Structure 1
Amino acid sequence: MTDRRTILKAFSAAPLLLAAGCATRESTTPPGVLNVGQISNSVAFLPLFIAEKQGYFKAEGLTLGARPELGTGAKVAAALKSGSIDLGAGVITDAFNLAKIDDGMRIVTSLVTEYYVDIVVPPSLPEPASLNEKIQALVGKKIGITGPGSGTEALVKYLFGSIGRDAAKDATLVNLGGTMTSAIGALKANRVDALSFFQPIAQQAAAADVGKTYISPARGDVPSLRGALHGVVFSTTKLLDRKRNELAAFERAMGRALADVHGDPAHARSLLGQYLKTTNPKALDALVPILRKEMPATPQVRRASYDTARKFHLDSGLVRKAPAYDAVLYEQAAV
């Protein structure tokens, strides 16, 4: 297993690595081993938990080394650049940002094919019939987001832009960090009027009678975002070229994990409860059918899903450039 000090050194160097665009080092793991870093314990990474919990990686002849939670996409990119992890699990925004400094960035696994950020409001707020009216009702409000440059901010900017408004001028965006309990507390205490946050924020808020789902791309509320690739596993060609067999085993294990998500609902609920141990049971019950809809049946990266996400990122200004579909797949035929 890679020395933890090596990984921590990569984390602390994240800003320097990204600013300098230094060359990617080769993998530091021995044959048969993969180090996989992820940004958080969000619902997007449930398949990774399932594959490990159910022994699918081991069954496919693969050993998992370090499994650090790095907190940000920049730190995932830094760890990939240093070679201290072989694969990074994050959102597609993280992959696009890595592509800015490394044209060898490749997306290898599809984890979530819906934009899993929801707009949550107090239960008492009336719900207009149309999407445009709902967005208009948010104008002038204080909206909690995880932070600048995040997918939570991007959704608000995109929604406001769709009605000719500027979220930076026509709303107050409040940076709350990534802790869900703090975000729900801010909504309950009226420090914010709405939240733009990752799942399962809406389900948690509803279970606590604090909030309700107001706008949900994953539910299909935003037509232009339907089917957008969001949660992904990505890496670089320099790392992947040395880990071809390991990557194949990883993909087989992920396929088995996704099959569990789409299999027996009671079994999927049990696995979700083991993954999100502190989440309200009512929220978990509500989340299972949502995950079965937004997680793909296989880990394959589909062109339509990728292209939808790419267009959103460009249109929202979240990134200025994003590689085309054929440029980001690692020896995977177009579908």
Structure 2
Amino acid sequence: MGKHIERRTLLKSLAATPVLLSPLAAGCAQHGSSTSAGTLNVGQISNSVAFFPLFVAEEKGYFKDEGLKLGERPRLGTGAKVAAALKSGSIDLGGGVLTDAFNLAKSSEPGGTKVLSSLVTEYYVDIVVGKSLKAPSEAASVESRVKALVGKKIGITGPGSGTEALVNYLFDRIGKKAKTDATLVNLGSAATSAIGALKSGRVDALSFFQPIGQQAEADGSGRILISPARGDVADMMGALHGVVFSTQKLLKKKQKETDAFQNAIKRAQQDVQGDPDKVRELLEKYLKDTSPKALNALVPMLRREMPQSPTVEKRPYETARRFHQESKLVDKAPSFADMKA
């Protein structure tokens, strides 16, 4: 199929999840922040590599240095729950992907949703295959690698997730449908569950965020078959992916606090671009169950995938926005000016 159809399949999948209230969000008033001055509640999907700068800033005391106190720090499991918690006011800032921000914008007044921080400008989900699955090498075409997945059990974090979206997109490239031409197995977001399912043969492959692929390669349980972040899928290169987003109402009320947050994240991002040995030490603390070999592989990848500043730049934003527009994913994709905090 053509490139427009391929993009449409991926992006419909990315935004398929409805915005549901999480247990954290349930019962909270929908009137902006509930935190006191000088404090921010910051929620995120999981402890994926995209949110490593938040850990660095916490670990090195940058938030405290900037006069900011972090309150609740929930891991909410999905971007839809992050968006719902923002809308309810139970968190002030949300760590997710850009599509989550677009979804929130659809249910808000014009200009009511803002992207505050750029965390990752590559799509950090990989297709990882187990040892028993016979698949072509990295030198083979993406299409031939995808064909090896037909009829197989593929682990994803859950329905409507970016992990499912990647599988749907890749299957569409070869004229197949993941829901009927493979078996998608919902594993949740825990790294141990994903690796365990691959090792036990519960699934033949995984579509999972970093560092799952690096862990599988390090312990010999599998290998990365397809990686958008290393350039395997040209249409997905350079798009803004990992972000921190919020509401215009919150950002207006908490200008001082969000400025401090940005300053702390910038310092953390500069650390990621700094001494590789120090980055590895911090990464080992963040990803406690990750093998030394996987950590070694991740450090140079993070330096490529993460920007040197949290300022949201127009080019990666417009790349992602173009994907949404050309796929007819949303009636009107917010402009850069509308979404930039």
- Give the TM-score band, short-chain normalised: 0.7 to 0.9
Q: SS of the residue aligned with 1:278?
A: coil
Contact 1:112/1:230 (<8 A) preserved: yes
Match of 2:211 in 1: 200
1:327 to 317, 320, 338: 338
Q: Normalised by the size of structure 1, how large is the TM-score? A: 0.87
Q: Match for 2:136 among 122, 126, 142? A: 126
Pairing partner for 1:117 from 125, 131, 134: 125
Aligned to 1:108: 116
What is the CA–CA distance in structure 2 between the aligned matches of 1:87 and 1:265, rounded to whole Å? 29
Superposition pairs of residues 214-253 of structure 1, within 5 angstroms: 214-253=225-264
When structure 1 is superposed on structure 2, of 248-257 and 123-132 the one drifting more is: 123-132
- Residues 236-269 of structure 1 show CA distances to partners (whole Å, capped at 9, x for unaligned) of 0111111112111111111100000000000100
Q: 2:67 aligns with which of 58, 61, 68?
A: 61
Normalised TM-score (structure 2): 0.86
**Kept in 2: contact 1:157–1:316 (CA 8 A):** no
Percent identity (aligned): 64
User: Alpha carbons of 1:265 and 1:149: their partners in 2 closer, same or farther (altered >3 Å)?
Assistant: same
1:13-24, aligned counterparts within 5 Å?
Answer: 14=25, 24=30
Query: 2:289 corresponds to which residue?
Result: 278
CA deviations 1:303-335 (Å, max 9, x no partner) are 2212333344566787676423222111xxxxx
CA shift for structure 1 position 136: 2.3
8 Å Cα contact 1:13-1:78 kept in structure 2: no
CA, structure 1 residues 225+207, in 2 after alignment: closer, same or farther (shift >3 Å)? same
CA change 1:189–1:36 in 2 (3 A) is same
Separation in structure 2 between the aligned mates of residue 89 and residue 27 of structure 1, nearest angstrom = 16
Counterpart CA distance in 2 for 1:313 and 1:138 is 26
Counterpart contact for 1:80–1:87, Cα < 8 Å = yes
Q: Which residue of 1 aligns with 2:273?
A: 262
- Report the Cα offset of residue 221 of structure 1: 0.7
Alignment of 1:31-70 (within 5 A): 31-70=37-76
The structural deviation recorded for 1:235 is 0.3
Comparing 119-128 with 157-166, which one deviates more in the overlay?
A: 119-128
Structure 2 counterpart SS, 1:37: strand
Q: Provide the aligned length of Structure 1 versus Structure 2.
A: 316
Name which of 54, 67, 72 aligns with 2:78.
Answer: 72
Tell me the amino acid that sits aligned with residue 64 of structure 2. Answer: K
Give structure 2 stretches of 5+ with no counterpart: 1-20
Residues in 2 aligned to 1:227 and 1:15: alpha-carbon distance in whole angstroms: 36
Whichever residue aligns with residue 286 of structure 1, its letter is A
- Equivalent position of 1:158 in the other structure: 169
Structure 2 residue 310 is the aligned partner of structure 1 residue 299: yes
Alpha-carbon shift at residue 14 of structure 1 (Å): 5.0
